[in-house]
Structure 1
Amino acid sequence: VPVKGHCLIWGMDDKVPSWMLKEDVTVEVDRRLQYMSELYRGRFEQWDVYNEQLHGTWFEEKTGNANFINDTFEKAHRLNPGTKLFLNDFNLLNGPGYTGAMVHLAKKLIGQGAPVHGIGMQSHFPNEKKLDIDVLAGRLEILGEAGLPLWATEFDVNITDATSKANWYEDVLYLLYADPNVEGIIIWGFWSKFHWRPDAALVEGMDFQENESGRRVRSLWNDVWSTRATITPNSHNSSLVVRAFHGEYDIDVWVESELMTTLQVDVLDSSPSTSIDISI
């Protein structure tokens, strides 16, 4: 299972440990980067390097280093050369105010040569009273101007009304899935007993009962955006075509009632077609 690391640095004042106030900040940051990289090297596909960097500037202020973000990304990249490094912040998609600022920051860092590989959009809904898909689509379009992959990193919908919540989950997921710049969606918890916002959960109670939102989300993952097909060749040398959503697939090859082999294939959204040869 692919794993994302969250996070190496968090610059909000209330998120900095109290003991850090007494230490050399740059030395302690370097120590943390080294320690975390050694502990998890090769195990994470992504790292959120600097969390909520548009809202918290504690490290820049304490070090007097205006290029602290750039320097931190460069250090993280040297220690984790095979890991994608992300910016991550809120009010990019789920609320106004910081969408353009993130694009400006990303372009600035890229222009300075910083190894920034993606933008994480914390997606805690609703920040606004009404769900306006056109407004959200406009924000995604603006974020796409940074030229980086986008991930919805902390998606949840905190509404008490079951139907309204399910509608929000479904509509936002459709929007995210349809945008070519969005490469991934991470739902920020699913069980009501272990969720920072229990009303946003997809599964409730000690008996793990799936609610309406959970059923809708599971249906999108397993049914709507998944392909199942049974095809039969009409000769010993046939070409068969199946249109499929991108993802990982198992292909079972049967001859009469005997399973001859199972093949795994990745259908990538970056490739218009995937070809395989099967010989029995």
Structure 2
Amino acid sequence: MFREAHKLDPSAVLFVNDYNVEDGCDTKSCPERFVEQIVDLQERGAPVGGIGVQGHISHPVGEIICDSLDKLAILGLPIWITELDVTAENEHIRADDLEVFLREAFAHPAVEGIILWGFWEMFMFREHAHLVDVDGTINEAGKRYLALKQEWLTCMNGNVDHQGEFKFRGYHGSYTVEVDTPSGKVARSFVVDKDNPVQVITLNV
């Protein structure tokens, strides 16, 4: 299947995607077995380009999540959390559990993306995993998600130094820098990622 898909679209990055890999609750789906499966596919010529961890989680333990991601990362492939939902009937516990998982995934250098498997109560794969109630109210889990998203944005402002430089540390992502000058505003966009962790942006003003 991998070889045929690659023939149809050589530019597509092909993932192996599985569940119960990251939480330590299912010995049949542990990271070690997932790694063995991926290596077996690679040895048979499958052009595996990434690892999908579905992320249907209940009661996550940060150390276990981190350890599982470490074991998967040994393959050197990008990891995506492809179907994240975190269940708990109590929305405050759900918020705490969601934060545990998101912090571990966001902090791990091999994780390149996180996809939610839903957010509205009417359209969820599992019960008690929603971030938005049926009436449109953002519940405690949704508020926690938005707070983390805001925390992980980099917004800086200030003045250039005597050398005309302004330095800052920020998260990976897309940036727009704007400089106010007597003649108007000058803007420039750039991307910071693991392949380009240090950026020097020159603006002629």
- The structure 2 residue matched to 1:233, chosen from 149, 160, 165, is 160
How many Å separate the matches in 2 of 1:148 and 1:226?
A: 25
Contact 1:155/1:185 (<8 A) preserved: yes
**Segment of structure 1 superposing worse, 91-100 or 115-124:** 91-100
How far 1:138 moved relative to its partner?
A: 1.8
Alignment deviations for residues 219-246 of structure 1 (CA, whole Å, 9 cap, x no partner): 1112x111101121245x5122111111
User: 1:81: which partner in 2?
Assistant: 10
Contact 1:204/1:211 (<8 A) preserved: yes
The letter for the 1-side match of 2:158 is I
**Count of paired positions:** 202
User: 1:220: which partner in 2?
Assistant: 148
Higher relative contact order (CA 8 A, sep 6+): 2
Q: Please, what TM-score do these two structures have when normalized by structure 2? A: 0.91
1:1-280 correspondence runs (5 A): 72-94=1-23, 95-97=25-27, 98=29, 99-126=31-58, 130-206=59-135, 208-222=136-150, 224-235=151-162, 238-255=164-181, 259-280=184-205
Note the aligned Cα RMSD (angstroms): 1.7
Look up the SS of the partner of 1:185 in the other structure.
Answer: strand
Structure 1 gaps of 5+ residues are 1-71
The letter for the 2-side match of 1:195 is M
Look up the SS of the partner of 2:46 in the other structure.
Answer: coil
Contact 2:22/2:64 (<8 A) preserved: no
How many Å separate the matches in 2 of 1:225 and 1:269?
A: 16
How many Å separate the matches in 2 of 1:106 and 1:119?
A: 9
Q: Please, what TM-score do these two structures have when normalized by structure 1? A: 0.68
